[in-house]
Structure 1
Amino acid sequence: MADEKKPTKKKTAPRKKAAAPKAVPAATTTTATTSNTEQAKSRFSAAVDEAKAGAALLRDEAKVRAGEYRGKARSQGDKLVGDAKGYSTEAKTYAADIARDGKDKASDALVSLSKTIDDTALQIDERFGAEYGDYARKAARSLQSNADKLKAKELEELGEDAREFVRKSPGTAVGIAAVVGYMFARVFRR
């Protein structure tokens, strides 16, 4: 029976099973997880601290820049105020000069009108009588005396006189202002 053959089975290579994860002892897993968590917390804390430091630097830089801009704005404002005060002083001086010139011209105009009336008084005497000529002479003397008073007064006195006149008779002042305004409008319209 030696010759007897036994049916032979083919031997196949054993299949490899997927490698199962190696079992790690429980203490090592807890330590690794704790270590990773602590490392993540540490990195997060470092990032937060770095962000806070960056924000503090930006805040400090913003304060410095704001201070610089504030200083520039203040100096520019002071310069503009100084310029405005200078212009204001110049304007007051210019207005005072114009007012003095106007006062002098008004006084000269009154003197000229007085002379004209006085010169025509003779003609009035001849045409209408001596009585009307005397009225013309009185008007000429009155204009001359008002011109002299106007020339002698300073601008401040004239301003006070005008305020006093308006206080005493506001209706007359409004009427005079309306007539003068109308006259100026007529003069400047041409």
Structure 2
Amino acid sequence: MADEKKPTTKKTAARKKAPAKKTTAATPAASNTEQAKSRFSAAVDEAKAGAALLRDEAKVRAGEYSGRARTQGDQLVADAKGYSAEAKTYAVDLARDGKDKASDALLSLSKTIDDTAAQIDERFGVEYGDYARKAARGLQSNADKLRAKELEELGEDAREFVRKSPGTAVGIAAIVGYAFARLLRR
């Protein structure tokens, strides 16, 4: 019975002879593809629109933040200018006070040397007393010149001194720095 074949019927013969059907655009698979493409295009368009809205919102917010930052920056600059003006005024006042105190100190030293000139005459001779008087007059003259000069003139004199003898200026700066360090330690 192995050799038995099934009898062919009209249906099975039609199946064997009929060529396979080709899918056209009207088939359900093609319409699903078109529908997916349509949905994808709609999603892309919606994403583009959303991105445009986000970009516009970002521009608006960036403008707001930029305006705030500019306002705060302008305020900080104005505050800094005010502090700068106050600091300049304070520094000028301190410089004037320092100039006056230095002048007073030179005058005081001049008077002290002049007062001791008589004692120097007695102990070491008139010649040394004259040196002391000469030094006292020189100190007094320098004190008067210092008192008469303005701060700008003193600054220019200091710059000129540094240009002419920078080594001496560095030495003086080192000595003054050492003196300040000693004063601040106490």
Residue 6 of structure 2 is matched in structure 1 by: none
Gaps of 5+ in 1: 1-25
Q: Determine the C-alpha separation between the residues in 1 that align with 2:115 and 2:70.
A: 66
157, 161, 165: which one aligns with 1:169: 165
- Cα 1:27–1:127 change in 2 (3 A) is closer
The equivalent position to 2:63 in structure 1, one of 63, 67, 70, is: 67
Q: TM-score, normalised by structure 2?
A: 0.81
Give the Cα–Cα distance (whole angstroms) in 1 for the partners of residues 133 and 142 of structure 2.
14
Of 125, 132, 139 in structure 1, the residue corresponding to residue 135 of structure 2 is 139
Query: How many residues were matched structurally?
Result: 166
Residues 41-86 of structure 1, C-alpha deviations (whole Å, 9 max, x = no match): 3322222211111110011101111111111112212211221122
- Higher Cα Rg, which structure: 1
Aligned alpha-carbon RMSD (Å): 2.1
CA distance in 2: counterparts of 1:28 and 1:130, whole angstroms = 136
Q: Distance in 2 between matches of 1:165 and 1:27?
A: 103
Q: What is the TM-score normalised by the length of structure 1?
A: 0.79
Partner of 2:154: 158
SS in 2 for 1:30: coil
The aligned residue for residue 111 of structure 2 is: 115
Task: Give the whole-Å Cα distance in 2 for the aligned partners of 1:93 and 1:101.
Answer: 12
Quick one: percent identity of the two aligned structures?
A: 85
Within 5 Å, which residues of 2 pair with 1:99-114?
Answer: 99-114=95-110
**Structure 1 residue 31 displacement after superposition:** 5.3
